[in-house]
Chains A and B, each alone.
Chain A
Amino acid sequence: MHKRQNLLAFGLLFPSILVLGTFVFYPMIKTFWLSTQTTDLMGNPINSVGFKNFTNLFNSEIFRTSITVTLIFVLVTTVVTVVLAYWLAILASSKLKGIGFFRTIFSATMGISVTVASILWLFMFNPQIGMFSRILAFLHLPDINWLSDPVWALVAIIGTTVWMNLGFSFLILLGAVQAIPEDLYQVADLNGASKWLRLTKITLPATEPTVFFVTVVTLINAFQTFGQVDILTAGGPDYHTNLLVYSIYQDAFVNHAVGRASAESVVLTVIIMVVTFIQFYLNKRKAARYAD
């Protein structure tokens, strides 16, 4: 009986195992394996080098820059996106006439593709005719080379990415804020609670699971940023916007170093895994605290 159930379970799981195996596990295992090889121009392995690809990576200043800017980028992008989206969600949840218009505007970036958005921002960052340069000139501030100064280029990419991710985060958070029962606020009003108290004691705790979800999604999205970098800076100046995924693409498809690119992919996978585990751990601890 027990055996039969196992068989049935396996039979039912088989289709998804097949699909996941073909499109997720097999490529993943192959990437792990390729990361220990040197490859020819076509990406065929030539010989096994053990962990040499990895030691080469960590000895390379370019890769270290890549990791550093990726971490800075992901951290800043995620925090700014979530905070900004939350603020907008609270603003947009107020019952005003015509608020629907603002809700549409705030979530509109969701409908714009990465390429279109990047090109739009490219115009705004243009050193001569761009909006930002014009504003700076108007305020008599020194000119900034948005896309060719190492620090400002990263700021530019972060700004663009935040803008792009904002729509999605905003929409999800708005849903969560609106789902909070109205009577909670009415009780708070009766007790004369301040706006701040209402925010910290009702709104934030009630939306915490959603904030967690949005943070995880934004974070993983940020790690996988590609289009903006390609269009705005191509990883430059001097690798200061060479985010990991872009670096993987460059090594795999431009430099034809599949071994090195695979090693980078493995590093990225490990980083995302660790970060996600930490997040889930923190969330679980918090959930346990609330249960007490």
Chain B
Amino acid sequence: MFKNIAKYSALLAIGAGVAAPVTTVDAASKPEKIVFWHSMTGQNQKSIERIVKDFNNSQKDYEVVPEFQGQYVEALPKFLSVGGSKKAPDLFQSNEISTKQLASSGMIEPMETITKKYKYDINDIQENILDYYKIDGKLYSMPFNSSAPVLYYNKDAFKKAGIDELPKSPTYEEITDAAKKLKDDNGKARLSILPYGWTFEELLANQNQTLVNNENGRKKTATKSTFNNEAGKNVLNWIKTNADAKTLVDYGTGANAGDNEIAGFTSGQIDMFMNSSASLGDIQKNAKFDVGVTYMPRPEGTDANGVAIGGASIWQSKGKSDKAQKGSYEFLKFATSPEEQAKWAKDTGYFAINKKSYDTDTMKDAFKETPNLKVAVDQLNDSKRNPATAGALITAMPKERVNTQNAMENVINGKDVNSELEKAAKQTDEDIKAANEQSGE
């Protein structure tokens, strides 16, 4: 009998121990919980959680609860399956290509509703970043982590092969030339152009070429692709030239291809490649050589038009209470403030989306410490503001990326440029049509 009592009391104690934190929170529970789904991993996750923690400590009315929901591709279907219900998070981070899907899903409250309601000064945010998340002039989500592609190269390898450092805005021809010299020096291919839809889009944008019609789907819903022309051919021909010259390393199209490419660069297997500026932090940390960063390349004889931003923004669920909405707003205001964005940019390599961040000491010090960080920012500021650099807005974006990626891969494997481009354009037309039918547009 006594034994049992001991057992029960032990159980009771454990039970109380488990329940205690819950009850104490309940007792003192005044802060409104704001659930925030994000897809950040590694260094970026640490940084985003630090922002949340700083916000929670800065006031007592709201408590933001960050929840990692897998990669962007995994988180989106999760959101779409609970969107509009009570289970939906207050805030949801999603990547740029889901913009059209989310905007027309009916599950989100356009960001403009709360920026207007609470008089958020939108003028502090970088215009060309805002452009991406505006549809028909209306802001749908709050820019948060934005990046753009840049060209990375190994300065030490260039020196060794006796090549000049790359200029600010290099041409395809200059890259090819350098790739050939690097191969002569090393005996192996040293350039990688990853068969990846995003790279293709950015190389189009840099030639002031939209991906789809109706001003990249920004004036009204896009109905057709627009890349089966000179601009598209320029990109594929450049790839072909390097594939034929055997100066190209092909990392393929697998889920880890991008990571392999970065690892290949930092371990000295390749000397030139294009990737997101957000990888800069990791690259600089792991590379044991002098890393060079420059603008995305352009065909000879053309002006660089600039790049479209990539990355993600934060969306707000529809149908949340006024208090929750206010809390979401307060958090977003905090997260996009000059100082927070400066810290975020310094830690991750993403842009600071707040223009005033560049006046902070944090940012100035970071630029002094890592001048490469500034290259991506300069490229973005030098980018012309037009539909091409605003980025394409279509629901069928994932499919379009696969189509153009296949065209790139096939060209690397020796197929014809013109027919591959035509095939990709035709398939994209069909995919756009199917997606528009699906969403009733």
Contacts and interface: CB of A to CB of B under 8 A. Distances in A.
Contacts of B440: 46
A39 B105 CA distance: 13
Given A145-B252, A236-B406, A40 B438 contact: yes
B250 A148 contact: yes
Given A255-B398, A256-B101, A127 B255 contact: no
B339 to A, nearest CB: 37
Sorted from nearest, which 6 A-B pairs have the closest CB atoms?
A236-B253, A148-B252, A147-B252, A237-B409, A238-B406, A128-B269
Nearest to B415: A238
B121 interface: no
A129 interface: yes
Given A38-B437, A237-B413, 12 more contacts: A40-B438, A41-B395, A128-B188, A145-B413, A148-B251, A230-B255, A233-B254, A236-B195, A236-B253, A239-B406, A256-B77, A256-B101
B349 interface: no
Interface of B: 73-74, 77, 80-81, 83, 101, 104-105, 188, 195, 249-257, 260, 264, 267, 269-270, 395-396, 398-399, 402, 405-406, 409-410, 412-413, 427, 434, 437-440
15 contacts: A41-B104, A42-B81, A42-B105, A43-B80, A119-B256, A122-B256, A128-B270, A129-B269, A145-B250, A148-B195, A150-B413, A153-B252, A230-B255, A238-B410, A254-B398
B240 to A, nearest CB: 15
A41 B438 CA distance: 8
Contacts of B77: 253, 256
B438 A38 contact: yes
A90 to B, nearest CB: 36
B249 A127 contact: yes
B438 A39 contact: yes
A236 B252 contact: yes
A253 B438 CA distance: 15
A230 B74 CA distance: 13
A34 interface: no
Contacts of B255: 230-231, 234
A43 B76 CA distance: 13
B260 A148 contact: no
Nearest to B412: A148
Nearest to A147: B252
A89 to B, nearest CB: 33
A149 interface: yes
Among A41, A147, A254: residue with most chain B CB under 10 A: A41
A33 B107 CA distance: 26
Contacts of A153: 252
Contacts of A38: 437-438
Contacts of B73: 253-254
B439 A40 contact: yes
A44 B330 CA distance: 34
B410 A237 contact: yes
B78 to A, nearest CB: 10
Interface in A25-45: 38-43
A232 interface: yes
A276 interface: no
B47 to A, nearest CB: 26
A16 B412 CA distance: 54
A41 B398 contact: no
